[in-house]
């Protein structure tokens, strides 16, 4: 049994908050209290949501179920995002795109021009897709529905690698063969302003969570953090790995690396701890949803992994062999796409925090310990 002990330390205060506990020589003070005297008593989070939020829950995993799906064409699918009730996918060296309301049935869509469409994100009611040519590009595109796309122009020509959204802005980073300090921000995907990353690196992925942007780089320990996407500060990851993807969920940032077992977690994007994935694979993308992290690997392979916290990982198997390039979460499910094929997958997996168990507090003579629950 594990509890957030720091939330249960206030003895006998005259004004009690949820999570405070006290000794009483009488019966339970009121229906808003629960006794701290049983190792087996279990309570539903839905009955005591405020107290349940303070206690590490009893974890009930839902069976991992991955189902093969079919993308609208055989293309080098690179990125997929969810927003406004739609999944939108883009592909490399083509005009091929796809949209789906459920991740199951896909419809072919057309991007404005043949480009190396590399990354797509959703925010402020719009999808934004960015490109590179292996050296540089200033081409982007926006869409409000994942169906009709409009060409946009980025702030400069760079080897742009990734786009994310948070705190009211889109942030893109660049990944030159050697190194780059170039980033850019935009409130709408149309008007872009150049920004400067904290060091010259091959920046590979960026995400937003807990009020902060976090970026990671390839073949390096270098990371970067920013509260606004404008001003960046250097941070250090645990190893010089080919960090490929970073995401946020459940109060933690999680990064994964290509061609290794390397992963890392951080509560704030600043201080990182090394973790271990189930196998040495070409881990390319990680996403969070339904209280779980899901990582997928290229290869080709069927390899995936899940974790409730980014620390302990369980090996999983995808329904077909593919170079799984990207995974996202939306509409209650994970959706993964594969590069160079029509392979896609929907993954139903959740970790349900449905109940919790209270700690037992040793009584003082003639008293019982109680915790305020509502």
pLDDT digits (tens, 9 = 90+) for 115-169: 999 999 999 999 999 998 767 789 999 999 999 999 999 999 999 999 999 999 9
Average pLDDT over residues 89-112: 97
Is residue 296 within 8 A of residue 50, CB to CB? The reply is no
pLDDT of res. 177 = 64
Looking at every residue in the chain, the average pLDDT score rounds to 89
Q: Is the model's pLDDT at 14 over the cut of 60?
A: no
pLDDT at residue 24, as a whole number: 74
Rounded to whole angstroms, the Cα distance separating 365 from 319 reads 60
What does the block give as tokens for 90? Answer: 């883009």
User: 229, 195 in Cβ contact below 8 A?
Assistant: yes
Q: Is the pLDDT of residue 4 over 50?
A: no
Q: Which residues pair with 59 in a beta bridge?
A: 353
Handedness of CA 193, 194, 199, 200 (dihedral sign): positive
pLDDT above 70: residue 113: yes
From edge to edge, which strands make up the β-sheet containing 180-186? 160-166, 169-174, 180-186, 193-201
Please report the pLDDT score of residue 9 as a whole number: 38
Is the pLDDT score of 246 beyond 90? Answer: yes
The pLDDT, as a whole number, for residue 5 is 35
Residue 188, both tokens: 């709408």
Q: Which residue has the higher pLDDT, 73 or 31?
A: 73
Q: What percent of the chain is predicted at pLDDT more than 70?
A: 90
Alpha carbons within 13 angstroms on the beta-carbon side of residue 183 total 36
154 contact partners, CB below 8 Å, separation of at least 6: 130, 137, 138, 139, 140, 160, 172, 184, 192
pLDDT at 27 over 70: no
Tokens for 172, please give them: 């893109």
| Confidence band for 7, pLDDT divided at 50, 70 and 90 | very low
Say if residue 300 is preceded by a cis peptide, omega within 30 of 0: yes
63-349 is a CATH 2.130.10.10 domain: yes
Average pLDDT over residues 349-367: 75
83 vs 30, 122, 184, 264, CA distance in Å?
Answer: 45, 6, 22, 27
- Whole-model pTM? 0.81
pLDDT tens figures, 34-86: 888 776 677 777 788 888 777 766 666 678 999 999 999 999 999 999 999 99
- Domain segments of the chain: what residues? 5-58+354-372, 63-349
CA-to-CA dists, residue 311 to 253, 262, 267, 272, 283, angstroms: 11, 11, 12, 12, 16
Q: Which range, of 190-194, 285-289, 355-359, averages the lowest pLDDT?
A: 355-359
CA atoms within 13 A on the CB side of 101: 0
**Separation of alpha carbons 359 and 21, rounded Å:** 11
pLDDT single digits (tens) 269-289: 999 999 999 999 999 999 999
Question: With 50 as the cut, is the pLDDT of residue 11 above it?
Answer: no
Tell me the pLDDT band of 311, cut-offs 50, 70 and 90: very high
Distance CA 47, CA 111 (A): 49
């Amino acid at each position: 049994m594990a509890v957030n002990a720091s939330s249960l330390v206030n003895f006998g205060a005259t004004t009690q908050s949820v999570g405070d506990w006290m000794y009483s020589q009488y019966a339970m003070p009121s229906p808003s209290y629960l006794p701290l005297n049983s190792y087996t008593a279990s309570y539903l989070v839905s009955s005591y949501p405020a107290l349940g939020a303070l206690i590490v829950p009893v974890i009930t995993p839902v069976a991992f179920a991955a189902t093969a799906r079919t993308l609208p064409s055989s293309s080098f699918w690179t990125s997929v995002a969810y927003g406004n009730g739609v999944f939108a996918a883009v592909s490399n060296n083509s005009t091929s795109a796809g949209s789906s309301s459920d991740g199951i049935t896909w419809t072919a869509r057309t991007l404005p021009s043949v480009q190396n469409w590399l990354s797509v994100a959703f925010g402020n009611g719009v999808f934004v897709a960015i490109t590179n040519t292996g050296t540089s590009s200033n081409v982007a595109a926006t869409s409000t529905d994942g169906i009709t796309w409009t060409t946009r122009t980025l702030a400069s020509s760079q080897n742009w690698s990734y786009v994310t959204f948070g705190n009211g802005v889109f942030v893109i980073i660049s990944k030159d063969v050697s190194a780059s300090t170039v980033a850019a921000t935009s409130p709408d995907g149309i008007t872009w302003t150049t920004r400067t990353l904290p060091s010259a690196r091959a920046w590979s992925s960026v995400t937003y969570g807990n009020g902060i942007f976090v970026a990671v780089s390839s073949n390096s320990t270098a990371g970067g953090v920013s509260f606004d996407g404008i001003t960046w500060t250097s941070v250090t990851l645990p190893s010089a790995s080919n960090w490929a993807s970073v995401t946020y969920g459940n109060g933690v940032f999680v990064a994964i690396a290509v061609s290794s077992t390397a992963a890392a977690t951080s509560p704030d994007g600043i201080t990182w701890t090394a973790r271990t994935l189930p196998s040495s694979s070409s881990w390319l993308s990680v996403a969070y949803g339904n209280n779980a992290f899901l990582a997928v690997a290229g290869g080709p392979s069927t390899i995936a992994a899940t974790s409730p916290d980014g620390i302990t990982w369980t090996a999983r198997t995808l329904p077909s062999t593919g170079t799984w390039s990207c995974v996202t979460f939306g509409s209650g499910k994970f959706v993964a796409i594969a590069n160079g094929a029509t392979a896609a997958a929907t993954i139903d997996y959740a970790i349900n925090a449905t109940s919790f168990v209270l700690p037992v507090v040793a009584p003082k003579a003639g008293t019982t310990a109680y915790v305020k629950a509502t």
